[in-house]
């Protein structure tokens, strides 16, 4: 599944202001299967994501640090954020060939109309690639999400691949970003992929103050490599 609503479809301007924290619940599903729910907290360039499996990810842009915590087994890992993203980009499997990169692909945006998604007024757009619809996107100018623009700009900058290493998904995301830049925040995205229909949806948003102690390395936990955290959180015995 693509990183969809978190890594794509965002505005680029950075708002250097003070603001309350933001809380969001995002539901993601493939082919209408039971959704995966993640809980997002964001304040002062620190982003915390918690999933229903008990895994917590903290991205601290101020310190260029990523912390992954699995409370059930009292383990965690810390990593240099920019190094981790670069390594992930360099090891990507879906690399386009030179011929693919030079093939011209046309992306087009069509405005469908105004709709209400989870109580939020949205503008519905459809995105086409060479005549085939690849996305339905509902964008809303949600005022409390304005501060997230700086987070997404930082994240996208850290993860941007070089010209020589460009995955098909990254290129597609970049083109879609251009088409919807400045039009609003993605409340719902339906992607039509080889895996089927992938849906990402913001089900709930509110302003909420966050205890900053919850955004730090845990005390009394064992520090282990990041892959060990993921394996123990998502191992077969936990499924």
Q: What is the pLDDT of residue 78?
A: 93
For residues 44 and 40, give the distance between their C-alpha atoms in angstroms, rounded to a whole number.
14
Beta carbons of 197 and 191 less than 8 angstroms apart: yes
Q: Which of 127-131, 175-179, 216-220, 226-230 is predicted least confidently?
A: 175-179
Task: Give pLDDT tens digits for 141-195.
Answer: 776 665 565 555 555 444 444 444 345 556 777 788 788 887 888 899 999 988 8
Residue 113's pLDDT band, with cuts at 50, 70 and 90, is very high
Q: What is the pLDDT of residue 210?
A: 74
207: pLDDT strictly greater than 80: yes
Q: Helices in 59-97 by DSSP H: which ranges? A: 81-90
Residue 2's pLDDT band, with cuts at 50, 70 and 90, is very low
For residues 30 and 35, give the distance between their C-alpha atoms in angstroms, rounded to a whole number.
8
Name the one residue in this structure whose structure tokens are 């460009």: 166
What are residue 20's DSSP bridge partners? none
Q: Which of 67-81, 149-163, 193-207, 223-237 is predicted least confidently?
A: 149-163
70 vs 166, which has greater pLDDT? 70
Q: What is the pLDDT of residue 166?
A: 43
For residues 21 and 209, give the distance between their C-alpha atoms in angstroms, rounded to a whole number.
5
Residue 103's contacts (CB-CB under 8 Å, 6 or more residues apart) are: none
Cα 221 from chain centroid (whole Å): 27
CATH superfamily of 4-238: Lipoprotein localisation LolA/LolB/LppX (2.50.20.10)
Q: What is the pLDDT of residue 134?
A: 92
Q: What is the pLDDT of residue 53?
A: 84
Task: Give pLDDT tens digits for 25-58.
Answer: 999 888 888 888 989 888 877 888 898 888 999 9
For residues 120 and 117, give the distance between their C-alpha atoms in angstroms, rounded to a whole number.
5
Q: What is the mean pLDDT of the chain?
A: 76
Q: Helices in the chain by DSSP H: which ranges? A: 4-7, 81-90, 98-102, 148-159, 168-180, 226-234
For residues 103 and 113, give the distance between their C-alpha atoms in angstroms, rounded to a whole number.
32
Beta carbons of 156 and 226 less than 8 angstroms apart: no
Using a 10 angstrom Cβ sphere, with 0-12 exposed, 13-18 middle and 19 or more buried, the burial of residue 205 is buried
């Amino acid at each position: 599944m693509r990183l969809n609503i978190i890594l794509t479809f965002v505005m680029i301007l950075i708002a250097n202001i003070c603001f309350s924290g933001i809380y969001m619940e995002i539901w993601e599903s493939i082919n209408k299967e039971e959704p995966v729910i993640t809980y997002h907290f964001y304040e002062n360039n620190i982003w915390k994501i918690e999933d229903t499996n008990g895994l917590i990810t903290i991205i601290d842009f101020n310190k260029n640090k990523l912390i992954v915590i699995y409370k059930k087994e009292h383990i965690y890992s810390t990593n240099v954020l920019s190094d981790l993203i670069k390594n992930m980009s360099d090891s990507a499997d879906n690399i386009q060939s030179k011929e693919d990169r030079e093939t011209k692909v046309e992306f087009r945006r069509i405005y469908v109309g105004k709709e209400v998604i989870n109580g939020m007024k949205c503008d519905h757009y459809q995105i086409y690639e060479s005549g085939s619809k690849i996305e339905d996107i509902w964008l809303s100018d949600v005022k409390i999400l304005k501060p997230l623009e700086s987070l997404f700009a930082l994240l996208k900058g850290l993860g941007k691949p070089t010209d020589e290493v460009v995955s098909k998904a990254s290129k597609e995301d970049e083109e879609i970003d251009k088409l919807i830049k400045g039009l609003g925040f993605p409340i719902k995205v339906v992607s039509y992929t080889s895996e089927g229909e992938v849906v990402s949806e913001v089900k709930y948003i509110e302003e909420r103050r966050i205890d900053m102690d919850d955004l730090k390395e845990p005390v009394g936990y064992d520090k282990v490599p990041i892959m060990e955290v993921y394996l123990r959180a998502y191992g077969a015995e936990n499924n």
